[in-house]
Amino acid sequence: MSAIVTQDTSPASPAFSVRWRSAIRAAITIVVFALLYEAVARSGYFPAVLMPTLGKIGGTLWANLIDGTLVVHAAATMYRVLTGMAIAIAVAIPLGILMGRFKPVEHFFLPLASALMPIPSLAWVPVFILWFGLGNTVAILIVFYASLFPMLLNVWAGVRAVNPLWLRAAGAMGADEKALFWKVIVPGASPFIITGMRQAFLRAWIAVIGAEFLAASDFGLGWVIFDAKEFLNADLMMASLIVIGFIGFVFERLIFGSIERATVQRWGMVRLAKS
Amino acid sequence: MTDLPANAAESLIGVSRPARESRWRVAARTAFPFLVLAVAWEITARLGVFPPKLFPSLVDVGAAFWRLTANGILPHHALDTLLRLFGGFALAAVVGVAVGILMGRSRRAEDICLPLVSIMAPIPGIAWAPLFLLWFGLGGKPAMLLVAFVSAFPIIFNTWTGVKAVKEIWVRSAQAMGADDRRLFVKVIVPGALPYILTGLRLGLAQAWRTLVGVEMLAAVPWGLGWMIFGAREFLNTDVMLAGVVVIGALGLALEKLVFQRLERFTVQRWGMMT
């Protein structure tokens, strides 16, 4: 920490070149890291089955993508995540809105939610396996459990955060309950709802992999990793990890990012959510 | 970051009750939903719709809890889980805060670390578990390392954001008043970034807790709550499993309420950094 670096780039150097320099440095980091890994893998210090070379990982990834194996597994995992999340959203949005609008509903469900939330969803896996057997049901229920609470709390907080002045203004301008709901409450709570969906997805994505490890059905990316462990296929494990990371990244950045742009930013609500 | 509204939502839980209501009324109101749930559970269990082995009555769960606590098995499991949690988390906190601060202060460190962190972060921590098991063997060590690995990411990200969010004018005015690097760091950067760092630690601990329970099921640790639940599945001891789930929930709640809310009150709020 010899020099105090000011974070803003100095006005003399245009942001463009700074950006380029960052991109180049990032690329160098990744290349150096990859070379280091490759050197360790090739040195034979660790057994090759445990630490496959990058070429082998890439080859496995490519072969399994082309013959469709990993695609089928990814589809199975996505099916579980999306079904579980859809149920969670379908429950959480009406319930959260009711909790935000009516005190008795809040008083009933809030203590339950705050007591159930600290229980990690994976803790339920053994219980659910006993109740529902191995397979899709357990994974979907675990995803549902994992994504319900972030969703519910955010919807509830969002409805409460709607400025009461807007409600009164809309009421004074003659909006009925229905218009009030669709034109004021839903747009007003939407930044929170989208944040909730984002967090719910992150949790669901972790939960589904864990559930697939434990409640081994025969499909799913988590199952691929767990199954590959039995045969010491570290290259397949890493290929599956790459697919998992990629899907997670795509959802987080591209899908939720674009939902946010399409709805919240257009309605000009984001700034409000931050204040 | 994206997680801030959730914390807002969580902190609302504490303040939702109006001050004028008596303490007893609030306690009764909070207990009521649990009572309803308990009665519904008990009725379902006693009706015999499901086999009592799979759906034990609350009396059985309570008895299992009492039996395991009295002979010291449950405390031993809980203690080992907590030791593993804090061991891994302490490692993550030290490394994560150090890396985050370095990334926030030095452009070079940021360029080197950020690509690696952003590539690794979207992969759910639990997905690494089988790989860690292959690399480090079964038992407590890979579980602890994985916990550290998983919880390091939110800590790094939040610390980095926090250091970058320190107002430039504070840094410059401190420098103008003759603060050297060390004092600048201790008196300006650290207090300024502290709300973010604490948020990161909190998220990291929550993440560590959720992952640890799952990893203990996979890693065949000799003692640990996750293992206790998962092992009980083999013997259809649903009462033991449910008692374990309750303990896990209680510990999670205690971590949040006792550790972090207190820490926050003693540091951030006292220094007036939280608005």
What tens digit of pLDDT does each residue of B252-271 get? 888 877 877 777 676 666 66
For residue B173, pLDDT beyond 90 = no
* Side-chain half-sphere exposure of A52, counting CA atoms within 13 A: 19
- Give the minimum alpha-carbon distance from A179 to chain B in angstroms, rounded to a whole number: 26
Collect all residues of chain A within an 8 Å Cβ-Cβ radius of residue B229: 123, 126-127
- Choose from A2, A25, A122 for mutation: most chain B CBs within 10 A: A122
Residues 102-161 of A with CB under 8 A from B: 106-112, 114-116, 118-127, 129-131, 150, 153-154, 156-157, 160
CA B58 to chain centroid, in Å, comes to 28
Tokens, residue B193: 């970034």
What tens digit of pLDDT does each residue of A176-198 get? 878 888 888 888 888 888 888 88
Q: Which of A73-82, A111-120, A210-219 has the lowest mean pLDDT?
A: A210-219
What tens digit of pLDDT does each residue of A106-129 get? 889 988 888 888 888 888 888 888
B215: amino acid identity, one letter: V
Higher pLDDT residue, A52 or A270? A52
With pLDDT > 70 as the criterion, what percentage of chain A qualifies?
Answer: 89
B249: amino acid identity, one letter: G
For residue B274, pLDDT beyond 90 = no
For residue A13, pLDDT beyond 70 = no
How far is residue B261's CA from residue A25's CA, in Å, rounded to a whole number?
A: 39
- Choose from A31, A70, A106, A127 for mutation: most chain B CBs within 10 A: A127
How far is residue A87's CA from residue A91's CA, in Å, rounded to a whole number?
A: 6
What tens digit of pLDDT does each residue of B219-230 get? 767 788 888 888
Q: Which of A149, A79, A81, A162 is nearest to A120 (CA)?
A: A149
CB contact under 8 A, A1 and B233: no
For residue A21, pLDDT beyond 80 = no
Assign A1 a pLDDT band (cuts: 50, 70, 90). very low
Full DSSP string of A114-172: HHHTTS-GGGGHHHHHHHH-SSHHHHHHHHHHHHHHHHHHHHHHHHHHS-HHHHHHHHH
pLDDT at B269: 63
DSSP A50: T
Assign A16 a pLDDT band (cuts: 50, 70, 90). low
Conformation bin of residue A4: beta by default, left when phi > 0, alpha when psi is -120 to 50: beta
Q: What phi and psi, each to the nearest 5 degrees, are found at residue B178? A: 90, 25
Q: What is the mean pLDDT of chain B?
A: 81
CB contact under 8 A, A114 and B13: yes
Assign A257 a pLDDT band (cuts: 50, 70, 90). confident
For residue B19, pLDDT beyond 60 = no
Q: Which of B41-45, B86-90, B119-123 has the lowest mean pLDDT?
A: B119-123
- Give the minimum alpha-carbon distance from B253 to chain A in angstroms, rounded to a whole number: 6
What tens digit of pLDDT does each residue of B181-195 get? 888 888 888 888 888
Q: What phi and psi, each to the nearest 5 degrees, are found at residue A215? A: -95, 50
pTM confidence score: 0.81
What tens digit of pLDDT does each residue of A33-44 get? 888 888 888 887
pLDDT at B5: 43
Contact B232, B240 (CB under 8 A): yes
Of A109, A120, A226, nearest to B130 by CB-CB distance is A226
For residue A269, pLDDT beyond 70 = no
Q: Note the ipTM here.
A: 0.78
pLDDT at A15: 63
Indicate the helix (H) or strand (E) that contains A68: none
Please list, in sequence order, all residues whose beta carbon lies within 8 angstroms of the beta carbon of residue B161, skipping any fewer than 6 positions away.
B1, B104, B196
Assign B123 a pLDDT band (cuts: 50, 70, 90). confident
pLDDT at B117: 84
Beta strands in chain B (DSSP E): none
Contact A245, A181 (CB under 8 A): no
For residue B166, pLDDT beyond 50 = yes
Could you tell me the residue ranges of all domains in chain B? Answer: 52-269
How far is residue A221's CA from residue A223's CA, in Å, rounded to a whole number?
A: 5
DSSP B56: -
- Choose from B55, B123, B205, B242 for mutation: most chain A CBs within 10 A: B123
Q: What is the mean pLDDT of chain A?
A: 82
Sign of CA dihedral B85, B127, B162, B16: negative
With pLDDT > 70 as the criterion, what percentage of chain B qualifies?
Answer: 88
- Closest-approach residue (CA) in chain A for B126: A210
Q: Name the architecture of domain B52-269.
A: Orthogonal Bundle (1.10)
Residues 60-79 of B with CB under 8 A from A: none
Please state, in angstroms and as integers, the Cα–Cα distance from residue B271 to each residue in B117, B191, B266, B268, following that order.
Answer: 31, 8, 8, 5
How far is residue A117's CA from residue B161's CA, in Å, rounded to a whole number?
A: 27
- Closest-approach residue (CA) in chain A for B165: A7
